[in-house]
Amino acid sequence: MSAASMSAASMAAAPGTPVRIGVLALQGAFREHLETLAGIGVQGVPVRLPRDLAGIAGLILPGGESTTIRRLIARWELRGPLLDFAASGAPMFGTCAGLIVLAREIAGGEEPILPLMDVTVRRNAFGRQLDSFETDLAVPVLGDTPVHGVFIRAPVIERVGPDVEVLARLDDGRVVAVRERNLLGTAFHPELAGETRFHRLIATMAAEHRDRADGSGHRLQATRGGAAAGSSSAA
């Protein structure tokens, strides 16, 4: 994985091989993610219905209200297709509410939404809006320049599974950015701070995923079918 992150930190998505990244556009700050993608020359596609997942190589789950997004995912039967999309190996990046959507466990007993990432998150972990804050974070996989984190009624990651890589912590040690294979999550909003490195990273991961899919035809079809079946039996 470090090769992927090194290349992401140093360059945009491979020039000449356009890759399309979906942004879940049910509710929240999806426009900011689409603009951030446009700013690094990557085509973003709003995703509201299962059919919108066709032809995209990665997906961003934006900030918003997770209770609302949960309801809209259920109503439009996106859960199965999103789990299949993740199982295909396509990268997914959740910010704030998007991280909550990806988490396998939500502290306090709420049902998980797309149990994908082996983490436990706590909603509104810092308090109410008056406790929202900005701070600089060291994120070594993105290089030496710190990431400016904007935390808005933000969640925190209370537990990480054995396969989860911690990408950033607050000064007090609390975990606020993680990666597990093709899944990325941050408790803060890079899209509100003009930060593009996470988007470059997912674009690079998406291009690699797409190239793998192009390069290994039938074998991948079989893998995808098997993975999808696995995810629906878990669901």
Partner 1 sequence: MTETSTWATKKGLAQMLKGGVIMDVVTPEQARIAEDAGAVAVMALERVPSDIRAAGGVARMSDPSMIEGIMAAVSIPVMAKARIGHFVEAQVLQALGVDYIDESEVLTPADEVNHIDKHAFPVPFVCGCRNLGEALRRINEGAAMMRTKGEAGTGNVVEAVRQLRDVLAAIRRLQGMREDELFVAAKELQAPYELVRQIAAEGKLPVVNFVAGGISTPSDAALVMQLGAEGVFVGSGIFKSEDPARMANAIVQATTHFDDARIIAEVSKGLGAPMRGIAMESIPESERFAVRGW
Query: Within 13 Å, how many C-alpha atoms sit on residue 108's CB side?
Result: 11
Residue 151 found at the interface with partner 1 (CB under 8 A): yes
Chain residues 55-114 in contact with partner 1, contact rule CB under 8 A = 63-65, 67-68, 71-72, 75, 96-97
CA distances from 150 to 30, 142, 201, 215, 222 (A): 16, 17, 19, 39, 41
Q: Say whether 195 is catalytic.
A: no
Measured between alpha carbons, how far is 101 from 113 in angstroms, rounded to an integer? 5
Whole-angstrom CA distances from 169 to 147, 152, 182, 208 are 11, 16, 20, 27
Q: How far is the CB of 107 from partner 1 (least distance, A)?
A: 12
Residue of 213, 188, 208, 210 lying closest to 198 (CA atoms): 188
Residue placing its CB nearer to partner 1 in the complex, 104 or 189: 189
Task: Let me know if 148 is a catalytic residue.
Answer: no
Active site residue 33: no
Q: Which is nearer to partner 1, 13 or 125 (CB)?
A: 125
Q: What is the dihedral of CA 138, 143, 146, 149, to 10 degrees?
A: -80
Rule CB under 8 A: say whether 145 interacts with partner 1: no
Give the residue with the Cβ less far from partner 1, 38 or 222. 38
Six-digit token pair at 180? 């597990």
Q: Which range, of 5-13, 27-35, 37-45, 177-185, touches partner 1 by CB under 8 A?
A: 27-35
Residues that bind partner 1 (CB under 8 A): 25-32, 48, 63-65, 67-68, 71-72, 75, 96-97, 123-124, 128-136, 150-153, 171, 189, 192-193
